Amino acid sequence: MSLDAKKLSPVKVAEMPPWPGGAAGGTPQEPARRRIQAGGYLMMLAAVAVMVLPLVWMMLASFKERDEIYTVPIQWLPESFDLSNYAAALAAVPFGNFFINSLITTLVGATLKIALGLTTAYAVVFLEFPFKNLIFGLVVFALLVPQQIVIIPNYTLVSDLGWINTYQGLILPGLASAFGTFLFRQHFLTLPVSVLEAAALDGASHWTRLWRFVVPISAPTIAAVALVSIVSEWNEYLWPLLVVDRAEMMTLPVGLTLLQNNDGVTNWGVLMAGTVLITVPVLLVFFLLQRRIVSGLTSGAVTG
């Protein structure tokens, strides 16, 4: 449809609506919009404060003497940034051992979770086989099942296999990641099928298509799943508590309980130092992956 130039009346500059935020004032809706925006920022600030302040407090408390932690009114900064709490934490429990165990279980566990998630999602999206939708439905259903429900059968199986106090006992039962499969599947549905069809015509196998084409263009989603997997593996408490009997196989969260004092007086400075040592690696991973995370978590949100 063409526009009739004659019917278009010229617009005078003076009549033009002002540029938002410009010198010429604002539209009637502008103050309301600004208020909403300000309210949004305030809510965001409040949410950030709720999440960040405990971390800041933990970090600062890890440098404090016992007396400094219990001051009224609250004293945020320590008198001096003394490392004695860290020394005490490291001396009290074999942190090096715990750290290595956590590193192994996290890296191996997260890597295998991602690999399984990728391959399962690829199969569900790009392969044709009977009951495909039913199988994916079961994967989604698995998201609804609390971990606690399967703990006793898993424990019995691991025990019968002789895997108590072993890395495989710690890692294998948690590998089937419904979350990863679901997220990858949603993302794969948004990928251009033409690229994969072209690869197939060139004789690329499914394996090649997955690793050479799908994985490289799925980096943000993989980063998101990696972060979630790393954090959940690193922070896992109940399962390692159950399947580990020996101190030399404990992971950091379980080992940290050795610093606690039930029916006694917990030295919170030392405990906070231990907690910082556990938290920092995960925060570093988060900062390394954060750019890719948002795009990864939102990919596949719109399909069709």
Measured from the Cβ of residue 249, the count of other Cβ atoms closer than 10 Å reads 21
160 binds another protein (CB under 8 A): yes
Which residue in 38, 145, 247, 280 binds another protein (CB under 8 A)? Answer: 247
Among 116, 164, 199, 285, binds another protein (CB under 8 A): 164
Among 15, 128, 202, 245, binds another protein (CB under 8 A): 245
Amino acid at 137: G
Find the binding residues for another protein in span 192-231 (CB under 8 A): none
Comparison of 160 and 202: residue with beta carbon closer to another protein: 160
Three-state SS for 19-45 is CCCCCCCCCCCHHHHHHHHHHHHHHHH
Q: How far out from the chain centre does Cα 292 lie?
A: 12
Collapsing DSSP to helix, strand or coil, 151 comes out as helix
Q: Could you tell me the smallest distance in angstroms from the CB atom of residue 166 to another protein?
A: 12
User: Which residue spans within the chain are E strands per DSSP?
Assistant: none
Half-sphere exposure of 206 (CA within 13 A, CB side): 11
Applying the rule CB under 8 A, the residues between 48 and 77 that interact with another protein are 66-67, 69-70, 72
Q: Are 130 and 189 in contact (CB under 8 A)?
A: no
Question: Of residues 137-156, which lie at the interface with another protein (CB under 8 A)?
Answer: 151-152, 155-156
Angle at which helix 95-126 crosses helix 178-188, to 10 degrees, equals: 40
Q: Cβ 257 to another protein, closest distance in Å? A: 4
- Among 97-105, 170-178, 212-220, 266-274, the segment contacting another protein (CB under 8 A): 266-274
Residues of this chain that interact with another protein (CB under 8 A) are 66-67, 69-70, 72, 151-152, 155-156, 159-160, 164, 238, 241-242, 245-247, 250, 257-258, 260-268
